[in-house]
Structure 1
Amino acid sequence: MAMAARFICIVAVCLLGVNAAPSQKLQDEVLDEAKMDTPQLLKKHGYPVEIHEVITDDDYILTMHRVPYSPVSPLVDGTKKPPILVQHGLLSSSADWVLMGPGIGYAYILADAGYDVWLGNCRGNTYSKRHKTLDVNSDEFWDFSWHENGIHDVPAEINYILNVTGEEKLFYAGHSMGTTMFYVMCSERPEYNDKIRAMFSLAPIAYMNHMTSPFFKLFSKGEAFIAVILKLLGIKEFLPNNELMDLAGKVLCKDGAIFQKVCSDVLFLIAGYDSKELNETMLPSIIAHTPAGASVKQLLHYAQEINSGSLFDPGHFRQYDYGIFGNKAKYGQWSPPDYDLSKITAPVYLLYSENDWLAGLRDIQRLFDGLPNAHKYDVPLHSFNHLDFLWAIDANQLVYSETVKIMKDY
């Protein structure tokens, strides 16, 4: 009822013209950026960009976007810039880190601070829908969760970066699923701990028993039913970006549109409510780039995490559950094996917020307790939510500057 009442008020306000829209020039610029990909956005703002192809050990072809320096921090002969791999979350891409522009977007902040910035794109998203032999429309291509992202994609990206730069170690920053992939990698392939200077977890996701997102709660409750229906329908990719989504963002979510507040409310329903930190003018550009595609199995794996706990079970951070017989065949045991957090010895900084509806405080504390070399940083804004780590107006002051400060100690 409250949402319905708010919607009526929004319509009335918009129709009466009470809210003054930003300049037409600014709106046109945002709509123009909605058509651009990551390299084009970087070039528009005068930042250099390189496109690199990485082949995983199971033959997926990934695209990485590199920002080797910035106009603020140019290359100096004989001086190497420390590399950092920045990894997106679920349904996202490298575009997340550049959409908000210089001075606000994380990629620009890092490049300006003197780092060699590599933006990853995991298998199945907008920039990484290729394989050496598998067709993108085949069941085999989409048969992966974030477990495969962790044991194949991230190691391939790290190996490539270190080979190109000649460095022995790099920094790693991930958001949401970008953190999950890292935990999987360093627990299943612990030799990669030695290749990490420090890791920054923005909105860390491992255990999920105490997340409060209404969207993911609903999705997880029907996980088994949804899995069957999607399989019967032959749906393997979840929410790919397409022209319809792009058009909806430009028409329904632009400044002055009646439905703009509804667009922002959808984001808040998933991630936590915080209207103050969201620049609603940027919604058409955000929705044009996100969702960037994901496998159904990635979402189902998270749903299993949410459902793994009970009254007498604290819940699990573990591999994909194929059912008791499937687990016995794949793992040699009736339930999936848990990831061993004690093997993650690289320095890990957990940057979290109290209003994050996906990364619950009790789940973060449990993750912290299980990591041998972990540090915590509570974002000093109570209303900061899960997506604010990407697009908040004050993300630099509240989060990014903290990571840059810590990196100087390494």
Structure 2
Amino acid sequence: MAAALATATLALSLLAATVAATPLDINEDIRLDTGELLVKYGYPAERHYVTTGDGYVLGMFRVPSSPKARARGTANGHPVLVMHGLMSSSADWVIMGPDKGLAYILADAGFDVWLGNARGTTYSRNHTSINPDDNQFWQFSWHEIGYYDLPAMIDYILEQTGHSDLFYIGHSQGTTVFYVMASTRTDYNDKIRLMSSLAPIGYVSHMTSPVFQVLSLFIDELSILTQLIGLGEFLPSNEFITMAGEIMCSDGAFTQDICANIMFLIGGFNEAEMNKTMIPVIMGHDPAGCSTKQLIHYGQEIQSGHFRQYDFGMLGNLQKYGSFWPPDYDISKITAKVALHYSNNDWCAALQDVDRLYKELPNCIGRFLVSQDSFNHVDYMWAIHVKELVYDKVISLMNRYLP
């Protein structure tokens, strides 16, 4: 078990990125946060904080306008909330720089961009009464992110902007938490103009990622360790990982290819879309933190084949839910418009699972297959041609549903 978990941990800590060559100052960008990166590249940035119903304090970044959109007079000002995936953060939408990062591209298209950060990540490690160093702080899975974090962010954005609804873009876990919210807090469906799912993760029984398959084999043991020794946070981001990225994954390092190949084990092979020069920048921002329970919850889904709430064991479930088994999320209650963007080479969002989700969503406007067969799970953030392959389609659909 220890060896398997160590392998999974190494793979998850060496996430790699890809982007076309840009005039970015890579050495500086490694340690700049989301807001600092936005300002550095000429975009206005605001920091906002919102408190959830259960006391977590979440950091958000806003890009209220774009120099390009203002110059063209094309700003529509409609808010869009962008939500990251597992162990990622808002930084992943800006580190690739203008014309590459989704935050810049959305702002240039005229949208009022809000970048969310789930509880436990780099920008959301605070609570009204619990110290983040306390194991109790980490007693959440992605269920709580969907049930508490997203509604708090959405209500705050709508209050700040005066709009009655917003666009939502989620990647990976960012889609999972949306499905949780929309199926359990159904009044929020009316607050969503269009939800764009990048690499949709609801059902995961066909997930082929070796990393998550290995983790799923030890879910019971990991759950026991969590209870016995208080293993709350999984793989916290720290200076060691950042330095390892700079030394092992930079241009000229003979270990750079190892960094790239470990990334491929997570989401699928696609070397053509990867610029290895950017790997140290990614490792300066990722992993951004998550709870062990988030991983356990996904492992439970792989094992069970269900899309359902966290499994506390029969006795725990009886106390929590009043039944021996956790309740399934009722996808039929998701009435918001949803667009599914998926790819053939995604080892996390398998075609069969996306198809099952599509059939159960009552208001899905369509499935949109990425035209590049080799496109993988993390390419939605960092691929060289992600703008042309994904973002342009996403924005085209959003423009279609503008008021």
TM interval, short-chain normalised: over 0.9
Q: Residue type of the partner of 1:174? A: G
Q: How much identity, in percent, do the aligned residues show?
A: 53
Shift of 1:74: 2.2
For residues 341-375 of structure 1, what are the alpha-carbon distances to aligned partners after superposition, in whole Å with 9 as ceiling and x for unaligned? 00001110010011000001000000001100111
C-alpha separation between the residues in 2 aligned to 1:86 and 1:116? 11
2:173 corresponds to which residue? 177
2:313 corresponds to which residue? 323
Aligned to 1:239, which of 235, 238, 242? 235
C-alpha separation between the residues in 1 aligned to 2:322 and 2:251? 55
2:54 corresponds to which residue? 58
Unmatched tracts of structure 2, length 5 or more: 1-19
Shift of 1:228: 2.0
1:404 corresponds to which residue? 395
Contact 1:319 1:339 in 2 (8 A): yes
The alignment status of 1:289 with 2:285, answered yes or no, reads: yes
C-alpha separation between the residues in 2 aligned to 1:75 and 1:225? 57
1:11 corresponds to which residue? none
In structure 1, the residue corresponding to 2:88 is in which secondary structure? Answer: coil
For residues 33-65 of structure 1, what are the alpha-carbon distances to aligned partners after superposition, in whole Å with 9 as ceiling and x for unaligned? 101110111111000000000011111100000
Shift of 1:199: 0.2
CA separation of 1:149/1:272 partners in 2, compared to 1, >3 Å: closer, same or farther? same
The alignment status of 1:83 with 2:79, answered yes or no, reads: yes
Contact 1:69 1:75 in 2 (8 A): no
1:140 corresponds to which residue? 136
C-alpha separation between the residues in 2 aligned to 1:111 and 1:317? 34
Shift of 1:71: 1.1
Q: State the 4+ residue runs in structure 1 displaced beyond 6 angstroms.
A: 75-79
After the TM superposition, which residues 127-276 of structure 1 pair with which residues of structure 2 at under 5 Å, given as runs? 127-276=123-272
C-alpha separation between the residues in 2 aligned to 1:158 and 1:75? 29
1:363 corresponds to which residue? 353
C-alpha separation between the residues in 1 aligned to 2:73 and 2:359? 44
C-alpha separation between the residues in 2 aligned to 1:170 and 1:237? 31
Shift of 1:107: 0.3
1:385 corresponds to which residue? 376
C-alpha separation between the residues in 2 aligned to 1:317 and 1:270? 21
1:125 corresponds to which residue? 121
Q: Residue type of the partner of 2:330? A: D
CA separation of 1:343/1:82 partners in 2, compared to 1, >3 Å: closer, same or farther? same
Contact 2:76 2:110 in 1 (8 A): no
Q: Residue type of the partner of 2:37? A: L
C-alpha separation between the residues in 2 aligned to 1:329 and 1:239? 30
C-alpha separation between the residues in 2 aligned to 1:37 and 1:222? 34
Bigger RCO (CA 8 Å, 6+ sep): 2
Shift of 1:409: 1.0
Shift of 1:75: 8.6
In structure 2, the residue corresponding to 1:408 is in which secondary structure? Answer: helix
In structure 2, the residue corresponding to 1:141 is in which secondary structure? Answer: helix
Unmatched tracts of structure 1, length 5 or more: 1-21, 309-314
C-alpha separation between the residues in 2 aligned to 1:72 and 1:64? 23
C-alpha separation between the residues in 1 aligned to 2:66 and 2:325? 49
CA separation of 1:212/1:275 partners in 2, compared to 1, >3 Å: closer, same or farther? same
C-alpha separation between the residues in 2 aligned to 1:380 and 1:77? 32
Contact 2:65 2:75 in 1 (8 A): no
Shift of 1:225: 1.3
2:39 corresponds to which residue? 43
- Larger-Rg structure: 1
Q: Residue type of the partner of 2:299? A: A
> Normalization by structure 2: what TM-score?
0.92
C-alpha separation between the residues in 2 aligned to 1:230 and 1:101? 38
After the TM superposition, which residues 2-21 of structure 1 pair with which residues of structure 2 at under 5 Å, given as runs? none
2:29 corresponds to which residue? 33
In structure 2, the residue corresponding to 1:229 is in which secondary structure? Answer: helix
For residues 196-231 of structure 1, what are the alpha-carbon distances to aligned partners after superposition, in whole Å with 9 as ceiling and x for unaligned? 000000000010000100110010011111222344
C-alpha separation between the residues in 2 aligned to 1:213 and 1:117? 31
Contact 2:331 2:360 in 1 (8 A): yes
> Normalization by structure 1: what TM-score?
0.90
C-alpha separation between the residues in 1 aligned to 2:234 and 2:339? 30
Shift of 1:240: 1.3
C-alpha separation between the residues in 2 aligned to 1:402 and 1:387? 18
Contact 2:74 2:110 in 1 (8 A): no
In structure 2, the residue corresponding to 1:366 is in which secondary structure? Answer: helix
C-alpha separation between the residues in 2 aligned to 1:142 and 1:226? 14
C-alpha separation between the residues in 2 aligned to 1:124 and 1:111? 27
How many correspondences in the alignment? 381
C-alpha separation between the residues in 2 aligned to 1:171 and 1:79? 15
In structure 2, the residue corresponding to 1:205 is in which secondary structure? Answer: coil
